[in-house]
Amino acid sequence: MQIFVNGESRLVSEGFTAAQLVEELGLTGRRVAMEVNLDIVTRSQYPQHTFNEGDKVEVVHAIGGG
């Protein structure tokens, strides 16, 4: 099925979770915020949150600097 991650189309399987997306994006262990269709998904929900066809996902991560 197709979802949109930060404005780009991405094909994922049925049952694909927010946790799997974070892993695929190489952001495991980083401070990440995720919004799906304008609703915040908390980190504790990542393993259970599955995407639906056409979901619009925004993922941002904190970058430290000095």
Which domains can be identified in the chain, with CATH numbers? 2-61 (3.10.20.30)
Q: Is the pLDDT of residue 65 over 90?
A: no
Reduced to 3 DSSP states, what percent helix, strand and coil does the chain have, rounded to the nearest 5?
Answer: 15, 35, 50
Residue 51, pLDDT score: 98
CB atoms within 10 A of CB 22: 19
- Give the model confidence (pLDDT) of 6-40 as tens digits: 999 999 999 999 999 999 999 998 999 999 999 99
Residue 63 pLDDT grade (very low, low, confident, very high; cuts 50, 70, 90): confident
Residue 61, pLDDT score: 83
